Structure 1
Amino acid sequence: MSSFVIKSIGSALNATSLISSKYASKKALNLFASPRKGRYTEAQRKVVSSALFEEVTYNGTTIATYRWNGKGKTILLTHGWESNASRWNYILKDLKAQDYNIIALDGPAHGRSGGKLFNAVLYSEFINVIAKKFQPDVIIGHSVGGMASVFFMHNYPLDSVKKMVLLGAPAHFTGVFSRYKSLMGYNKRISNGLDNIVLERFGKPVDYFSAANFTKSIKAKGLIIHDKNDKVIPYEDALLFANRYKNSELISTSGFGHGLKDASLTPKIIEFIDR
């Protein structure tokens, strides 16, 4: 979506807010929570075609899971925004070579999972259902998948999870929300309206949802990997995690971007898992 289209939508909602700020704010939140991509392409389907596919139902919504059986540690993979389980293609071969038992899922409204709207809280509930079913030893989460994994471990502590790998994960929802508001050019009516909807829907203010703060309650060891030039989630978020996640270590990269799909990182992840 071009910046012109984005700003045009923002301007239209700003104008609507003069008539009804609540209506405009709901539209703005639905826009924020509606992925424009993330369903499988034909090429992406081939990546997961070798997996054992299983659907699990949660509150009437299907959760798509993919399993590559192994005899080693169970690894749960959680993808990010507008993605799906195929994003792990770059690392699957190396994980299989370690004979890990690998589980991946599609988040809400992504891949083959059900739903039309997405948020990190709902994603964390998806992760909770799948984690309870498969009892992973390790969770590897990219971007908001990392954030949702932290939410899960904070709200539903699972003893089987001994380690977590956070790849380019946002440290707090405030930053994600602020960047969205700025991108769209929303006025104060919509900005405040969005905050109010979050409070009404989840019973907590926006700044409560801090993955970095939540890590203080997590006993599992953490590995934080973040690129210094990440243009999606600022490197400062990694420093927040490193400062507050007591039982963690930080690997900083340069030039790998937000995706962090570089072969040089895989041995470091495997070494952390096996340590």
Structure 2
Amino acid sequence: MAPAAAANFGHRLLFTPRRLHPRDEERTVLAKGQRFSFEVERENIVARVWGEGPTVLLAHGWGGHSGQMSSLANALVAEGFRAVAIDFPGHGESEGRLSSLVHFARTMERASAIFKPFHGIIAHSLGAGAVTYAFARGLQASRAVFFAPPSDYHAWWGLFRRQVGVSDAIWSKIQRKAEGWLDVPFDAIQPAQLAPRMTTPLLILHDVHDREVPFEQGEDLARLWPGARLQSAERLGHVRILHDPRAVASAVAFLGQPALGHGTDAAARPVTAT
């Protein structure tokens, strides 16, 4: 009955993340890091820095926060890296209410200007999608590790439409509004479309039973991204994999490797919960 109002409401729902709070053990790690902030489009962005050495950016996913990357930060520092974890706009301690992977990418680009060069980037879920988009825009890193990355956003958009009850007509209005707001068409942010142009060596860690981002999406991305390797995990899920000792060790070890072969690494050992 009021399509414009419905589209505006749907837009806000689609781009408003939940703010989750760190667990006690994550807060302990965050407290050990140097807290700093910088501005992106007049919003204050909060980040933490640990250690000295080659810089590795840690990028959380949608509705996440930098505390989720705390196990990776600890492991990186132990291996002589400097870890930088960011709360993206609308997440964690950073300002903002609305957010998107485009906001994520712009924030990483600003962080790159501060910490350039990045030796590596470790990203989770939608954060990995944002890194892919940022790479396409010119962001550089020597290598990257993605945990549970998406290759295609249509399934997420479809889930949103089903949960909210969005008609085709209203979705078209939401999409047009979002594309104008973000100044980018939806097709231009799809990882599957961007992956064949990528040159950064990539390791993908993905649980075969991930309920939020299906394992098949990680497989697709590994197949499309030149030189990417895929390492499977079991019984770790979508978030717990970020704290699994073997998965974390694989990620950190990959960042220290001098070279990388091509294709899915069939010989890579599965990461399994103990």
Same fold by TM-score, threshold 0.5 exceeded? Answer: yes
Written as runs of structure 1 = structure 2, the 5 A alignment for 1:217-236 is: 217-236=197-216
2:106 to 104, 120, 125: 125
| Alpha-carbon distance in structure 2 between the residues aligned to 1:56 and 1:111 | 14
| Alpha-carbon distance in structure 1 between the residues aligned to 2:94 and 2:183 | 26
1:94 to 66, 75, 94: 75
What residue number does 2:65 align with?
84
CA contact (8 A) 2:11 2:178 kept: no
| Alpha-carbon distance in structure 1 between the residues aligned to 2:123 and 2:156 | 17
Measure how far apart 1:50 and its partner are: 0.9
Structure 1 residues 43 and 264: alpha-carbon distance in aligned structure 2, compared to 1, 3 A threshold: closer
Output the TM-score relative to the length of structure 2. Answer: 0.86
Q: How many residues align?
A: 254
2:13 to 31, 41, 46: 31
Measure how far apart 1:245 and its partner are: 0.3
| Percent of pairs with identical residues | 21
1:65 counterpart = 2:50? no
| Alpha-carbon distance in structure 1 between the residues aligned to 2:158 and 2:227 | 29
1:56 to 13, 38, 43: 38
| Alpha-carbon distance in structure 2 between the residues aligned to 1:39 and 1:119 | 19
What residue number does 1:267 align with?
249
Written as runs of structure 1 = structure 2, the 5 A alignment for 1:1-275 is: 19-39=1-21, 44-71=26-53, 73-135=54-116, 136-158=118-140, 161-259=141-239, 260-261=241-242, 262-275=244-257
Which sections of structure 2, spanning at least 5 residues, go unmatched? 258-274
Provide the aligned C-alpha RMSD in A. 1.8
Q: Which amino acid aligns with 1:143?
A: S
How far does the alpha carbon of each residue in 1:4-32 deviate from its partner, in whole angstroms, 9 at most, with x for none? xxxxxxxxxxxxxxx22121012112112
Q: Which amino acid aligns with 1:125?
A: R
Instruction: Give the stretch that moved more between structures: 45-54 or 241-250.
Output: 45-54
Q: Which amino acid aligns with 2:194?
A: F
Which sections of structure 1, spanning at least 5 residues, go unmatched? 1-18
Instruction: Give the stretch that moved more between structures: 177-186 or 200-209.
Output: 200-209
Q: Which amino acid aligns with 2:63?
A: E
